[in-house]
């Protein structure tokens, strides 16, 4: 109960920080300084106007000084992060695997909305996240079996910690490599960019956290959802299919969150309650 409450508060605060990142990273601004300001009038935002979710409703979605609309994205990101942290901690407790999963889902939420709004997947999240995922693999096991089967067969006998790191390296390198190759061939054949390098780096980050199998599943789910919903969106809005840039990272992000919760047995735990 107390754990779940802590998870919600942590989720709201981290969601609030993700909002800062989503606005500032694509603009190459520091996420630490200056303090929060209104993008429209650049007036600094007082702490009491900067409370996650609450301030948005108190201010009725407008800046106190200039009345500019505050994007509803701020509330959605805060509530979504809090909900994910709540689900994870309630299912797994305040444990190391729960903390790692919270970090991964927070990175995915940040990437999902940065891509949707700015069509950018910041390197701080993708490459920075890959590095963190590789290091964390030593301390929290990556739940995959590929390296566990392949490496002993090749005569390599590693400790459980290093086998976990091997799963992480494999998860980061293999899907990212094949995505890069696919994008490279697509460009050679159609002479335009199909997949952004950001998507490739994003999947490397995901693979470093969860290994190869979960990454392939995310790629399949994200591609199918992206193709179907993207086509429907283009039909409805009558946008030009040749020039419309689909936020593929957004679909990968939602698919990744689903696979992460299912793979780490969070969803199993809730289904078991029914």
Question: Which parts of this chain interact with Zn ion (CB under 5 A)?
Answer: 38, 40-41, 63, 65-66, 68
- Comparison of 4 and 36: residue with beta carbon closer to Zn ion: 36
Q: Cβ of residue 37: shortest distance to Zn ion, in angstroms?
A: 8
Block residue for tokens 């086509």 = 231
CB of 40 to Zn ion, least distance (A): 4
Nearer to Zn ion, 70 or 87 (CB): 70
Our CB check for Zn ion shows the closer of 43 and 148 to be 43
Q: How far is the CB of 39 from Zn ion (least distance, A)?
A: 8
Provide the minimum distance between the beta carbon of 69 and Zn ion in the complex, in angstroms, as a whole number: 10
**Shortest CB 38 distance to Zn ion, Å:** 3
Closer CB to Zn ion, residue 65 or residue 119? 65
State the nearest-atom distance from the C-beta of 187 to Zn ion, in Å: 42
Q: Pick between residue 65 and residue 265 the one whose CB is nearest to Zn ion.
A: 65
Residue 42 or 187 with smaller CB distance to Zn ion:
42
Nearer to Zn ion, 40 or 246 (CB): 40
Nearest residue to 90 via CA among 270, 258, 271, 243: 270
- Min dist. Cβ of residue 63 to Zn ion (A): 3
CA 29 to chain centre: 20
Closest CA to 165 of 122, 211, 200, 99: 211
């Amino acid at each position: 109960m107390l754990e779940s409450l802590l998870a919600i508060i942590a989720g709201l605060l981290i969601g609030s920080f993700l909002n800062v990142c989503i606005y500032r990273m694509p603009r190459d601004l520091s996420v630490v300084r200056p303090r929060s300001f209104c993008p429209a009038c650049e007036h600094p935002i007082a702490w009491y106007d900067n409370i996650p979710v609450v301030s948005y409703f108190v201010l009725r979605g407008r800046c106190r000084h200039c009345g500019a609309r505050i994007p509803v994205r701020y509330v959605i990101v805060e509530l979504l992060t809090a909900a994910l942290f709540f689900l994870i901690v309630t299912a797994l407790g305040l444990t190391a695997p729960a903390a790692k999963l919270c970090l991964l889902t927070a990175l995915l939420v940040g990437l999902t909305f940065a891509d949707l709004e700015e069509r950018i997947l910041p390197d701080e999240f993708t490459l920075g996240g890959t590095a963190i995922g590789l290091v964390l693999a030593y301390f929290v096991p990556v739940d995959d079996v590929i390296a566990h089967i392949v490496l002993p067969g090749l005569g390599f006998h590693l400790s459980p910690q290093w086998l976990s790191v091997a799963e992480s390296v494999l998860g980061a390198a293999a899907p990212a490599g094949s995505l890069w190759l696919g994008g490279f061939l697509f460009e050679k054949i159609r002479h335009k960019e199909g997949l952004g390098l950001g998507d490739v780096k994003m999947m490397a980050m995901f693979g470093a956290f969860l290994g190869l199998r979960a990454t392939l599943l995310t790629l399949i789910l994200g591609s199918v959802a992206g193709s179907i919903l993207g086509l429907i969106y283009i039909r409805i809005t009558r946008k030009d299919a040749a020039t419309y840039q689909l936020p593929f990272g957004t679909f990968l992000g939602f698919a990744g969150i689903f696979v992460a919760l299912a793979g780490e047995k969070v969803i199993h735990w809730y289904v078991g309650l029914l």
